[in-house]
Chain A
Amino acid sequence: MRMLATFEKSERLRHIGHLDIMRAMQRALRRSGLPVSYSKGFNPHILLTFASALSVGAAGEREILEATLDEAVAPEDFVAAMNGALPPEMQLSSARIVDDRRPAAMAMVKAADYRIRVTDASAAETLCAALPGFLAQGEIVTDRKTKSGIKPTDIRPLILSAEMDGDTLRARLTATEAVSCKPGMLMNALSAFAGIEVPRVMVTRERLLGENEDGQLLPLEAV
């Protein structure tokens, strides 16, 4: 049985890397007493995947995991058992059973909503003022780190929406397995456009989004 759940990676844990969060979640599954499934083979491991890796430095409010269980478990029992086994910084907020034939959550992610708080007030003001002009550009080329090195990429089509209120920039950015725009890329490009050094920011990924049949973006856990 496949269980999809949303969980928090609190601000306190923002410096913990993806693989370490993954291992903490695996250990929580072991602690939970839930009938978790293990892979076959010589070095069995827990069947657990995350929909999307969250960068070091960012917090996440509704990150998504998928776990495989050997026996049926009610979603609310899953959440309760896991929350008893997780530190307050990594609690689950919801869970649902998903069909075995459904594509992996990882393949269904289309975009993500970010909240980017600029800690320096004057930088925030400058960026706020620059944002409309920035978005009005037809093309926004910035460096993207890929496995094969740094590649200049046009991120304009990947910025689905962006608005800034006070010190906080809210952005909906494309995030698929094939191509994605990270908040850091957006900040680099925006700061360059505004003519300031890239300021310190606190990044929170609010939710991951998937698409329904009508091509509408919805929280992934609801698709």
Chain B
Amino acid sequence: MSPCNDKIEAMLEKVQKAPRYTGGEMNAVHKDWDSVALHYGFCFPDTYEVGMSHLGMKILYGLVNREPDQVCERFFMPWTDMKALMEEEGIPLFSVESRHALSEFDMIGFTLQYEMSYTNILAMMRLGGVTVLSRERGEREPVVVAGGPCAFNPEPLADFIDAFMIGDGEEVTLLVTAAVRDWKKSGAPRSELLKTLARIEGVYVPALYDVACDDAGRILSVTPNCPEAPARVKKCVVTDLNTAYYPRSFPVPYTEVVFDRIMLEIMRGCTRGCRFCQAGMLYRPVRERSLETLRSLAKDLERATGYEEMSLSSLSSGDYTCLPELIRALMKDLEKERVSISLPSLRIDSVLKESLEETQKMRKTSLTFAPEAGTQRLRDVINKGVTEQDLMEKVTDAFSCGWNAVKLYFMIGLPTETYEDLDGIVDLARKVVGCYFAVPKDKRARGLRVTVSASSFVPKPVTPFQWYGQDTQESLKAKQQYLKEKFRSVKGVNFNYHTPELSYLEACFSRGDRRLGRVLLAAVDRGCILDGWSDLFSFETWMQAFADAGLDPDSFAYREFGRDEIMPWEHIDSGIDRSFLLREYDRAQEARVTRDCRLGCNGCGLQKWKGVCGYANAGHV
């Protein structure tokens, strides 16, 4: 432990939720600092409770710590009270495990899960004594890397991150840690390392690219400025999840975190092709873990963690080929341990009925359905292949199986939306209530709870809707008020929505470019941190930050990209072709659905990477 331990101990007595900072959890990894060649600080740019719920962190933590000559320790964003004390006392951001300062690590890695955590990244670096701007970072300062879904548009963070890892991290992470380790030993200049990193497939080093744009900020070209950097950086794909690394143990927090359970990733990717969904594009192709692998992982994880609960995670668990068999097998394997198994993010057109009967023996948590849009027309526009009849059948099944709580997720502000589509949302909710009352009294559970949540649509890179500007805040607010009024007369339904301001900023950053680095710096200077927490979020301060940077946020959030325009992330190759996205964009305009590509390849672009997509040969375009 570091010499400032006494000061840290005194601070811990003054802050809320001290266990966020104290570690000592079961399965936390402690290695002798001086005996390893590479120190990797894994940074989750949000609080401990959020970060410890994140599957990717558990995978990378185990992955790096499995290497005998490397250690991975965790960092989280401290809450404001702790941050203030640390600044006052001059205590740098320290790792959960050994309390070494962030600046003492050879390499630090941020996971980019949502845009609104970007300022936390800057704040964590500052607090940890790491130079924030990549170009000003000293020769022997930590190498700063980042990965995760938002890395597919890395540009807003290009000024701060030395190297991005694009796509699945299981393989590329170890290539990068090894390169950093060897570089450290070699004593070569930092610029050499950056070039070495750029040569690794899936690694994007922003400093090695020149971006030319016109006065309006339209990108004219993005060109590598050295031979080591590829013109386009291809994302990493782990083709076989059965042989890919998955942890068989991970730290178990003492205090409750957001997802406090075993997370078993049963598959990655989704073939549905919802047109608003970035994850559905980024994580392609679909890869499943085999039943045997999952059973073995589940048993080991249960033995290692002692958790009482397990959730099957993926974008669309209902699509797992043999879901009922899997659930049955897991329930049998873990019967003695009394583990309850929950199925999150079930889609309404999944093999739900059978699963419902299986899970009802276990705990009845509330069921979630995501029709996303209120009318069939709009659902066709977004390619959410779900019909009203589907939904009604599924909720009726759920109600007659004893569920009484249903959550319905919708989006407002979708391309082509009209007020008719909003009425559709109310209508659908009303019909769900009707389904409940249609189940005989003696067969249904008492106390119906229907929650309708309406979030604001944010256009995301690498989706068919990437060209659309976001609906304006005024329009979104009016739509929310309209729905709120309408729902007043619907008994049994609770209507939820958030102010569109956060979505607006998300829209700025999700499709933004390098200029936004200035905004991030100004925002963190003005104290915008932990913005995911509504009590800390200040929209006005963000607007001031945009003004400081001399940029108009509307020109980012509401921006319509031209069909032939170069996107700020054009040089990141997700494998999904622009021509496919444009085709999907056009079909959306015509409200034409595109089939699930398990039924036949739709030619998204991945088929050109040989052997990557297992479904690519199953049909023809």
Interface residues of A (CB under 8 A from B): 10, 12-13, 15-17, 20-21, 23-24, 26-31, 33, 38, 44, 57, 85-89, 119, 200, 202
CA distance A20 to B307 in the complex (A): 13
Nearest B residue to A10 via CB reads: B24
Contacts of A12 in B (CB 8 A): 22-24
Contact between B22 and A16, CB atoms less than 8 A apart: yes
Question: What 0/1 pattern do residues 8 to 35 of B give for CB contact below 8 A with A?
Answer: 0110110000110011111110000000
Contact between B6 and A119, CB atoms less than 8 A apart: yes
Contacts of A13 in B (CB 8 A): 22, 24, 254
B587 to chain A, nearest CB (A): 49
Contact between A119 and B10, CB atoms less than 8 A apart: yes
Q: Which of B233-284 contact A (CB under 8 A)?
A: 252, 254-255
A24 to chain B, nearest CB (A): 6
Contacts of A10 in B (CB 8 A): 24
Most chain B CB within 10 A, of A24, A26, A85, is at A24
Contact of B189 with A by CB under 8 A:
no
Contact of B338 with A by CB under 8 A:
yes
Say yes or no: A15-B303 contact (C-beta < 8 A), given A38-B338, A200-B13: no
Contacts of B26 in A (CB 8 A): 24, 27-28, 31, 85-87
CA distance A86 to B305 in the complex (A): 10
A selection of 29 A-B contacts at a CB cut-off of 8 Å is: A10-B24, A12-B24, A13-B22, A15-B12, A15-B22, A16-B19, A16-B254, A16-B255, A17-B255, A23-B254, A24-B26, A24-B254, A27-B305, A30-B337, A31-B26, A31-B303, A31-B304, A31-B305, A31-B306, A44-B338, A57-B13, A85-B306, A87-B24, A87-B25, A87-B27, A88-B24, A89-B24, A200-B10, A200-B13
Contact between A20 and B338, CB atoms less than 8 A apart: no
CA distance A28 to B24 in the complex (A): 14
Question: What 0/1 pattern do residues 421 to 457 of B give for CB contact below 8 A with A?
Answer: 0000000000000000000000000000000000000
State the 9 A-B residue pairs at the shortest beta-carbon distance, nearest first: A27-B306, A15-B18, A30-B306, A31-B306, A89-B24, A12-B24, A20-B254, A16-B254, A87-B26
Additional A-B contact list (13), CB under 8 Å, known A13-B24, A15-B19, A38-B338: A12-B22, A16-B19, A24-B252, A27-B305, A27-B307, A28-B306, A29-B306, A57-B13, A87-B26, A87-B27, A89-B24, A119-B6, A119-B10
A118 to chain B, nearest CB (A): 13
CA distance A202 to B308 in the complex (A): 34
CA distance A20 to B13 in the complex (A): 18
Contacts of A200 in B (CB 8 A): 10, 13
Contact between B255 and A20, CB atoms less than 8 A apart: yes
Q: Which of B435-481 contact A (CB under 8 A)?
A: none
Most chain B CB within 10 A, of A15, A23, A200, is at A15
Contact between B10 and A87, CB atoms less than 8 A apart: no
A132 to chain B, nearest CB (A): 29
Question: What 0/1 pattern do residues 285 to 310 of B give for CB contact below 8 A with A?
Answer: 00000000000000000111111100
Contacts of B307 in A (CB 8 A): 27
B4 to chain A, nearest CB (A): 14
